[in-house]
Amino acid sequence: MTQSSPATRRLDLPVPQAPATAEPGPSGVRLPDDQSAPESLDVTVVLPCYNEQAHVVAELERITAALDASGRSYELLVIDDASTDDTLAVLRAAAPRFPHLRLMPFTRNGGSGTARRIGTQQARGRVVVWTDADMTYPNERIPELVAMLDEDLSIDQVVGARTSEEGTYKLLRVPAKWAIRKLAEILTGTVIPDLNSGLRAFRREVSLPYLRLLPPGFSCVTTITLSFLSNQHDIRYVPIEYAKRAGTSKFHFTKDAYRYILQVLRMVMYFNPLKVLMPVALTILGLGLVKLGYDVVAHSFRVTTTTVLAIVTGFQVAALALLADLVVRSRQD
């Protein structure tokens, strides 16, 4: 398949001349799932905002300057997630300064995952970029991530892998995120330098089948990573610096860490249940067989109830794993 160069494509693309504002539906966050939106631009940057009034304009300036210098056609889809401060007013006042900005305000808070899902569905770019508005990610490198997708068609997603942790609860987050990432690596059979980085660029058309799986919260970035890896979509990781956030963090350690673990297990179960269930089944069955051998020797062939229960449970979990795998394969067909 041949692909025209970015410069050739831009000659025929309409360039927005004025900022546009997309109003939400009656529910505040549920817009029509228009997954066939025209892909008439090179890049759509989806930028969820929640209570970022003090620095959101600085972030817009940084992203706009980088993309203007790249020469690519783009839109900056800014989603105000029902901020309780003056973020929306600040964005509306700044909109005339940014001709490529498209503002989408929500009337109730849907979470960053909901904002990214709807933003990706409504995107006009063939490449979608996710990032945050809190000044933590080096958004001036967005054109670099997009260029990697253009240069290598075998890559479907480029992720900025953070080289340091600057978030809140650092002493707790570092070991917890390491453990969750290792679990994901074992279950997917892939090395994952950064499981939940918020800075990534991916091909919109590849992501569309997986958008319905995105949860409303922070673990949406974990979900899109595991969805791509579980379906043989190659991901490239690029080391990036990670700065201390501006404003107040919305991360809740206990609740969000729990959600991350559940989401890893849920996604692997969705795409490859044998990876989760079969090791459990074989472990229980193996312990039952060892106990059976002990009963035969120590109790003169009198098998205890716990031994029978362990063997039966092992077989039941194995049968459930095979049945779940059959369902997954049938769904893929």
* CATH number for position 127: 3.90.550.10
CA–CA dist 169, 166 (Å, integer) = 9
- Residue 44: pLDDT band (50, 70, 90) is very high
* For residues 79-106, average pLDDT: 96
- Residue 219: pLDDT band (50, 70, 90) is confident
Q: Count the domains in the chain.
A: 2
Q: How high is the pLDDT of residue 266?
A: 80
Q: Are residues 210 and 94 in the same domain?
A: yes
> Which of residues 239, 254, 271 is at a domain's end?
271
Per the domain annotation, does 300 fall within a domain? yes
Per the domain annotation, does 324 fall within a domain? yes
Q: How high is the pLDDT of residue 251?
A: 56
Sheet holding 101-105, edge to edge: 20-21, 101-105, 74-80, 41-49, 125-130, 200-203, 155-162, 234-240
Q: How high is the pLDDT of residue 272?
A: 83
CA–CA dist 333, 329 (Å, integer) = 6
Q: Are residues 147 and 119 in the same domain?
A: yes
Q: How high is the pLDDT of residue 168?
A: 55
Per DSSP, the residues of 274-320 read: HHHHHHHHHHHHHHHHHHHHHHHHHTTT---HHHHHHHHHHHHHHHH
Which of 40-44, 214-218, 245-249, 329-333 ranks highest by mean pLDDT? 40-44
Provide the residue range defining the domain that includes 148: 6-271
Q: Are residues 263 and 296 in the same domain?
A: no
> Which of residues 237, 271, 305 is at a domain's end?
271
